[in-house]
Amino acid sequence: MPRVGLFIPCYIDQFYPDVGLATLEVLEQHGCEVDYPAAQTCCGQPMANTGCTDAAVPLAERMINVFAPYDYVVAPSGSCVAMVREHYTDLLPLTNKLQEFQAKTFELCEFLTDVLKVDSISGSFPYKVGVHQSCHGLRELRLARSSETVGDDFDKARQLLKSLDGISFAELTRTDECCGFGGTFAVHEEAVSCMMGRDRLADHRAAGTEVLTAGDMSCLMHLNGLNQRHAQPFPVMHIAQILAGRQPEGITPVNSTDGSVA
Amino acid sequence: MAGHAQLADKFVANEERAQWHDKSLWFVRHKRDNISHSIPEWETLRETASQVKLHTVAHLAQYLEEFETNAKKLGVTVHWASNAAEHNEIVLSILQEHNVKRVVKSKSMLTEECHLNPHLEAAGMEVVDTDLGERIVQLRKEPPSHIVLPAIHIKKEEVGEVFHEHLGTEAGASDPGYLTEAARQHLRENFLAADAGITGVNFGIASTGGIVVCTNEGNADLGTALPNLHIACMGIEKLIPSPDHLSLYTRLLARSATGQPITTYTSHFHGPKPGGEMHIVLVDNGRSDILGSDDFRRSLSCIRCGACMNTCPVYRRSGGHSYQSTVPGPIGSILGPSQNAKEHSSLPFACSLCGSCTDVCPVKIDLHHQLLTWRKEIYVRGLLPFSKTFPMKVMSKVFQRPGLYAFGGKVARKALRLMPRWMIYNPLNGWGRQRDLPEAPKESFRDLYKKRKK
């Protein structure tokens, strides 16, 4: 039984505790022994992305030590995992300890598909789902083929979601454009950030998205924040919540009422 | 000086225009996707093109000497300029030696970078940009907003206005066919009257000493075929080793730039025309500094296709002028600070780090990683404002103490639950102007986890 250290991003810990619980449940359902080390805080991404690398270094060092005892480290966030795997080498000397940490750290969906070799997830989710590709998951971790690159199609999140009963997908005009969150970018470049988010939401609305999901709660926090100011916001759910069997709040499944599909 | 965010704010404030700008450029990005996806070996082409550029840049001194030697053999006069001022002086002195009064110029971002036009105009010369988009912005007395589509920010009605004023077209005209024909007649007069033609250079070929200029309008050909004097201005990074490598770039350039299989005119200049004179000015202007930097060297591979601008969600919504840099967008946000970090300190932050530029780049420049590295450089050089550094330092201190972090989180969540809405959504809350904050739960995940374990 693989021993997994649960890496819960700081803002998920504080604002979206159920996403953490759902991640824990999914991992346990697939036979992992999961532990959440409470000494973890933040991976240091906001500091590093602002350029303040000296403020990020002690946090990166802390992460490595906190997660040293585990076989694997799994996080419900492509962005935080990308920080560890792709950018810790910009902050710290390349030691064996760092390399080991990077090699054993995974985003939830890729851990399920690549390490645990999960083919399908049982359950029902009778909604038209809009999948938001978070950029760091997409273009740093390569969890799916990005629309710019040429090659065989793959998408680890959809691969898992598509086995759920009743699920369908909203097909967007711009399949994987950035939502505009971008960490501190969301505040420092507020005008562009919010326009990007509004445009993503408009694309989802036009495509008939009933439930919006993503592998990164940060993108969803930004999109939902904008959506809440809209007259008829659609619910957002982290992919871990869907995989753990949660159902959206405030809407009824279309298929169960009159059988029509939105 | 206003930074990118302030200028972008103004651009976005005109929502209709910003939407139109975004959609125009997305149309080009979409065309690029269609045509690049029709080439199964696209990723191999990119990788090879990237390797050849990295190799060339690593041996730049050797290839530059080879290029100079071979160009001279073809009868070309080769000049070297270490900076913009030297470049402008060299071009001016060549023109003055030939008693030139009227110059036609095809598109060259290098001459924009060096501000050549005002220098020549101050010496009493008439300089006419002959690329249609360049001519439009020249008549409007503003810089290009895009390196491939210089007038992409201007609507056809506005072109009608500027042509009515300068070229005498009918007032209120906006028909592209009519306006293009008017521009064609106007430019033809200038081609016929010119004493000299200036062009940029897309590729310099070291093993032959020849240059290649790519245009869609044939204006470089017209501008060099009629006058007897041709001056080509070339950044030292434009070299490729041999003609064998050329097809890599001509295949990638037009597809990445506009979604065309090839530019309409791919013109090869190997020496002056009979009875004419050809000069090549090789310009450094900061490129050697970039060459010396391990972090930013790869930005010298850029072939100026503009694909990173077309794909950049920030560029599309903020417009080229918001970058206040000759080359805007992702690549410009690397090159700008390389030229002057203080002046362009906001550019590396005009980026959500989405990485689309890196995936679209035909020569595989790791654009968004270089932008991230520039942010660190801006901080290290003390150019990042206190308002950005201070919160990061405080957050770091808190995150280094898990107990303090958990306690702080609890207090903040409680405050968010108890405070009235008007107090939370105050003018200082940059998040809350257009977005709701997430609902603050009573218990954090760590609280729930502790309970679950019991």
Summarised one tens digit per residue, pLDDT across range B292-303 is 999 999 999 999
CB A42 to CB B399 under 8 A? yes
Domain spanning B39-285 has what CATH number? 3.40.50.10420
Give yes or no for A87 touching B (CB within 8 A): yes
Which of A6, A8, A11, A14 is most worth mutating to test chain B (most B CB atoms within 10 A of its CB)? A14
Partners of residue B127 on adjacent β-strands: B103
pLDDT band for position B426 (50/70/90)? Answer: confident
Q: Is A142 inside a domain boundary?
A: yes
Same domain, A149 and A210: yes
Same domain, A134 and A111: no
pLDDT at residue number A256: 44
**pLDDT tens-digit series, residues A209-238:** 999 999 999 999 999 999 998 878 999 999
Q: Is A225 inside a domain boundary?
A: yes
Q: Which of the 8 DSSP states describes residue B198?
A: E
Query: What is the C-alpha to C-alpha distance for residues B407 and A94, in angstroms, rounded to an integer?
Result: 34
Which of B42, B294, B347, B353 is most worth mutating to test chain A (most A CB atoms within 10 A of its CB)? B353
pLDDT band for position B49 (50/70/90)? Answer: very high
For A136, name the nearest residue in chain B, comparing CA atoms only: B354
CB B375 to CB A140 under 8 A? no
**pLDDT tens-digit series, residues A114-151:** 999 999 999 999 999 999 999 999 999 999 999 999 99
Same domain, A132 and A111: no
Nearest CB to B437: which of A138, A182, A225?
A225
Same domain, A48 and A80: yes
How buried is B423 (Cβ within 10 angstroms: 0-12 exposed, 13-18 middle, 19+ buried)?
exposed
pLDDT at residue number A262: 40
Across residues B233-239, what is the average pLDDT? 98
Question: The domain containing residue A30 runs over which residues?
Answer: 3-115
**pLDDT tens-digit series, residues B157-183:** 999 999 999 999 999 999 999 999 999
Is the pLDDT at A260 greater than 50, yes or no? no
The DSSP secondary structure of A150-214, one letter per residue, reads -S---BHHHHHHTTSBT-EEPPPSSTT---S-TTTHHHHTHHHHHHHHHHHHHHHHHTT-SEEEE
A-to-B residue pairs, Cβ atoms closer than 8 angstroms: 224
Which residues in chain B are closer than 8 Å to A181, comparing Cβ atoms? 352
pLDDT at residue number B430: 86
| Model confidence, pTM | 0.96
Q: Is A256 inside a domain boundary?
A: no
CB A135 to CB B353 under 8 A? yes
Query: What is the C-alpha to C-alpha distance for residues B224 and B278, in angstroms, rounded to an integer?
Result: 9
Nearest CB to A148: which of B311, B379, B393?
B311
Buried b (16+ CB within 10 A) or exposed e, B376-408: bbbbeeebbeeebbebbeebbebbbebeebbee
**pLDDT tens-digit series, residues B303-325:** 999 999 999 999 999 999 999 99
CB B313 to CB A180 under 8 A? yes
Q: Is A261 inside a domain boundary?
A: no
Domain boundaries, chain B: 39-285, 394-453
- The whole-angstrom distance between B412's CA and the closest CA on chain A is 9
Give yes or no for A85 touching B (CB within 8 A): no
Nearest CB to B318: which of A20, A192, A225?
A192
Q: Is A201 inside a domain boundary?
A: yes
Residue (of B71, B17, B63, B115) closest to B269 by Cα position: B71
pLDDT at residue number A261: 44
Across residues B193-205, what is the average pLDDT? 98
User: How many domains does the structure of chain A reveal?
Assistant: 2
**pLDDT tens-digit series, residues B383-410:** 999 989 999 999 999 999 999 999 999 9
What is the overall mean pLDDT for chain A?
95
Q: What is the CATH number of the domain that holds A181?
A: 3.40.50
Spatial neighbors of A193 by CB under 8 A, at least 6 apart, are A180, A181, A182, A185, A186, A187, A222, B352
